[in-house]
Structure 1
Amino acid sequence: MTLNCKGQLISLEPPLVMGILNITPDSFYDGGRYQQPKQVLNQTEKMLREGAAFIDVGAYSSRPGADQVPEEEELSRILPIVELLLKEFPEILLSIDTFRSSVARECIAAGAAMINDISAGNMDPNMMETMGRLKVPYIMMHMRGTPQTMKNLTDYENLLESVMYYFSEKIALAREAGIVDLILDPGFGFAKTLEQNYELLRNLSLLKQLDYPLLVGVSRKSMIYKLLGLSPEQALNGTTALHMYSLSRGASILRAHDVKEAVECVRLHQQLSE
């Protein structure tokens, strides 16, 4: 499998790592850490040096119950960071974590390479059409509701059937809109209980039947630290364990706070698979 990023064909074999750069003040793990240009540049350089293929920049926290951020504020947060990173690292492949088509459009125009949409178009009816015009890779995540309401929307008659049907519908809409490069994100922690997260992870290989790359985002999430009775800061070992399991079930991209450890998982898994 490959992705066309700014004219480059990026192979997903072996799997790649996407480093997380939250520039929000309220993200669940690293909120507020990367507010100044020097902090942003240092962290980005570190992740690139450790082997991140993509850097995912987010200016709107999607943690459960997060405050809503006006569109103008999201743009004012993220555009200067996109410009800063591309000036310092001209070859960088930036993923923009947004559900707003206007933010997607502005960031791609500024030089970003792909869009990571937690709502798969549900929170902006113009997103699919916009992505079809932009012709960049599009990550579609499974979620019910919004970050403000999702924790109350975990009543599934059959979780796996629901997720498969959701993606089947979204893939059809994406194709109709002219989107070529799609990545599917099962949405761990989004409108799912702890038990449902693990049910979905155990059955991750079922999503491979849809024949699109899978992105797994479990890094330091509550499905790890709550189960183990820890804090997000103590959840690296659990994250590594689930990264290795995700790779064995077909993950193509690991979205991670800790790039070095995720890259090591990929290398070890690759060796075991030979």
Structure 2
Amino acid sequence: MHGTIRKAVLPVGGLGTRFLPATKAIPKEMLPVVDKPLIQYGVEEARAAGIEEIIFVTSRGKAAIEDHFDHHWELMASLERRGKTAELELARSMMGQAGTISYVRQPEALGLGHAVWCARNLVGREPFAVILPDDLVLGQPGCLAQLVEAYGKVGGNLVAVEDVPREQTNRYGILDVVSDDGRLAEAKGLVEKPQPEVAPSTLSIIGRYILQPEVFDELDRQERGAGNEIQLTDAMARTIGRQPFHGLRFEGRRFDCGNKAGFLEANLAYALERDDLGDAARDILRRYSATLT
């Protein structure tokens, strides 16, 4: 029997410089995909997977995220007065119960491993999830729910993975695979952003993790890796041999909302899935595709 996954860490401390000028005063995570902030998709995915506590790792200028998941008395009162029942329920659904959302600061941008390490005291000594909001996954059940189900069978450390073109291995953490049944791959090692010619596979980690608390012991070493940053991949790799490590090929489509093209595609894909917007989105795409040569 493996420990229940109750807590999820969402690192949101980045500056979002690739989306300037939009992110000069607004956190990147608050940019909308259709009509919902990117960060809300991550929180909803966590809750759908049974997560009870959300831990945001923030930095200066991220107050809008805190406000978004807080109670807005004036808005609630206005919606109630005007009989906007659907909108009122929507606003209420964004808030968690008191004490289920926490925030901790990452004082310096020293890498993903450092961001996760900053949450160590709030996580404690129990297994936990990590969601990187830039990776948006469209699918049912949600990506984290799929990981939680697989974790119940294999335990240890578990990450969501997908195959990438070999020329792109230097963008990701890559698994060194021992066995692979087509859905679940067991790893004997991990390499952070290897060059294509030396990459042990093309199976890349995306932004969903279930980790054992021992990863904090490795992050305590504060060792720098690729890009002179404290890499979560390096800390996970050092636990292999002591704990099982698997990669799960998730079902669904992943959009890299950390770049503009991926963000644009996510907006289109999510609009097409909507009952209220799907037809309009298809009409728009047809009009624009007719102008392409």
Q: TM-score scaled to structure 2, two decimals?
A: 0.29
Q: TM-score scaled to structure 1, two decimals?
A: 0.30
More helix, by proportion: 1
More strand, by proportion: 2
